[in-house]
Structure 1
Amino acid sequence: MSRKSVFLVAVTVVMLYFSIILFMLSPLHGAKSSYYGNNYMNHFGYRQTPQVQWCKELKWRSPPAPKVTALASFPGSGNTWLRYLLQQSTGIVTGSIYMDYGLKLHGFPAENTTDGSVLVVKTHGAPPLDTYKFDAAVLLIRNPRDAILADFNRLFKGHIGTAPKYAFKRRSNNNKRSDWATHVYQQLREWEVMHQKWLTQFPGPIHLVFYEVLVRDTRTELNAILQFLNHTVSEDDMDCTILNKEGIYRRKNKHQDFDPYTADMYKGLEQVRQRILRLVNEYQKKNNVTVMRKA
């Protein structure tokens, strides 16, 4: 191999290395600069770390709790925001079965931690085949219309960004359907299966939370979740959490004049949503769960 070839290979490796580092340090994978201020750390384009105002210093459970609770939700249902609220109110870190470097560096140091040292463990999947993985679960349910749209936005612009309008019309590989339409129908099937499995197959206790109700009455719903987790917080801690409840982890609705869903899509969304709501009612009756407020 010639010296020139060796040099080019070396340059490529170095560029790849720094690209990986930049990716890992990029806040929330595509977040808008307005969330972090307009200044940049240097000419490489690092954005400033988002300043999360924590109500108390975050810590791991010590000693670890004997039971592990899942925080289960379909992608786009507000899992990250609820983790943020739980960390604000308790000061205890929340874990995840995933490793999201953007979240790890910006408020969630226990990414990829799944034991009793964390308050809850994030998962977007169905209940694990290993029934000893989780002892209990908080199931966060969001209207599939909004969850599917939020996840589509995440695929394009990260945890708090919004996909551009042209993304909803794009077609790949000469498909008759747009990428957006393909995404909707595929994700809608997965939304139903994921919730159906948690409601019918998970052997442990489940605390059901509707995202829309959590937004509408954050204090009441958060207190109910903490009671399920057998964790109490002071009124001062809860007041601080509510004061800072928006944080930086909720996506703003950028295209308020734009609805990407068709009439046929809405019909399918509502049919699936009603089937899951019936399962929710059946779960509550079977397990003698107090009737929850629905969205």
Structure 2
Amino acid sequence: MSRRSIIVLAAAVVMLYFSIILFMLSPLHGAKSAYYGNSYMNHFGFRQVPSVNWCKELKWRSPPSPNVVALVSYPGSGNTWLRYLLQQATGIVTGSIYMDYGLRVHGFPAENVTDGSVLVVKTHEAPPLEPDKFKSAILLIRNPRDAILADFNRLHKGHIGTAPKSAFKRKSQEHKKSEWANYVSAQLPVWESLHRLWLTRFAGPVHIVFYELLVQDTRATLADILEFVNVTVTEESMNCAIANKEGIYRRKKKYDDFDPFTSDMYVALDDVRNRVLRIVSDYRKRHNITDRSKGNF
């Protein structure tokens, strides 16, 4: 191989490595114009995410808490947004069982940290086999219709992007149904199982939060969560968190004239939704929990 060829190959490898790094550090992994218009392009042409205005400088929990709290949800249920709200109100970092490099460099420095040095630990998994991994859990529940749709969007366009309409019509290679139809069919039992397991198998206390209520009454719902994790914040801190509640990690609705769900899908969605609501009701009765909000999804 000639010297020139070696130089060209080396340059290509460097460019590929650089491109991978840029992709990994993008917190939205593919989100497009709605959040990355011209105002967020630097002079090199690379995407730049709007900066997060934190109410206070983020810090680690000190001393670390002996009781690690799980923040549990099905993907697409608003876990990242709730972490953002908690960090805004408390100034304490939140952790995750995962390593999302984009989130790590854009507001969530405790990715892949799962001990008591963080306020809560994000997970989309079933209760761990280790009985002492989590002492308690916040279970964030979102309507399966919206959660499954949000996660489908995430898979195609990142944390806040929206999948194109064509993605919902693309035919599966193995089946006659569309990839979207197969996805909904596969995810419905996953959505149901996750909530069932945390409400019936987890030994510690579970604080149930409905995403829809978090949106509707953010202040009261957030205050209840902070009481559950035994953290007190000032009125000023809460006011700041609410004033900045939108942040950059909520997906904006793109299509008002497009519903990818069929009538059969809606029947199946209602079935699993109602079964989980019954499990929630049974859990509250068993543990003598009063639902002050009277809310669900």
Query: Which residues in structure 2 correspond to 1:117-136 (within 5 Å)?
Result: 117-136=117-136
**Counterpart residue number, 1:194:** 194
Q: Indicate if the aligned counterparts of 2:28 and 2:161 stay in contact, CA closer than 8 A.
A: no
Aligned residues: 294
State whether residues 36 and 51 of structure 1, in contact with CA within 8 Å, keep that contact through their aligned partners in structure 2.
no
* Deviation digits for residues 19-48 of structure 1 (CA, Å, limit 9, x no counterpart): 2111122232123344355242233x3222
- Listed as ranges, the gaps of 5+ residues in structure 1 are none
Report how far residue 9 of structure 1 moved.
4.6
CA distance in 2, matches of 1:5, 1:174: 42
Equivalence for 1:278? 278
Q: Cα offset for 1:282? A: 0.6
Name the SS for the 1:20 alignment partner: helix
Q: Which moved more, 1:214-223 or 1:6-15?
A: 6-15
Percent identity between matched residues is: 68
The alignment yields a C-alpha RMSD, in angstroms, of: 1.6
In the alignment, what sits opposite 1:171? 171
Structure 2 Cα separation of the partners of residues 120 and 220 of structure 1: 19
- Paired residues of 2:27 and 2:159 also in contact (CA < 8 A): no
Question: Structure 1 pair 157/239, CA: closer, same or farther in 2 (3 Å)?
Answer: same
The residue type equivalent to 1:79 in the other structure is: N
Matching residue's letter, 1:202: F
Unaligned 5+ segments in structure 2 are none
CA displacement at 1:155 relative to structure 2: 0.6
Q: Distance in 2 between matches of 1:90 and 1:36?
A: 29
Map 1:112-261; keep pairs closer than 5 Å: 112-173=112-173, 175-261=175-261
Name 1:293's counterpart in structure 2.
Answer: 294
**In 2: Cα distance, 1:90 partner to 1:141 partner:** 22
Q: CA deviation at 1:5?
A: 6.3
Map of 1:42 onto structure 2: 43
Provide TM-score, normalisation by structure 2: 0.94
Is 2:60 the counterpart of 1:71? no
Tell me, yes or no, if the aligned pair for 1:28 and 1:106 is still in contact at 8 Å.
Answer: no
SS at match of 2:38: coil
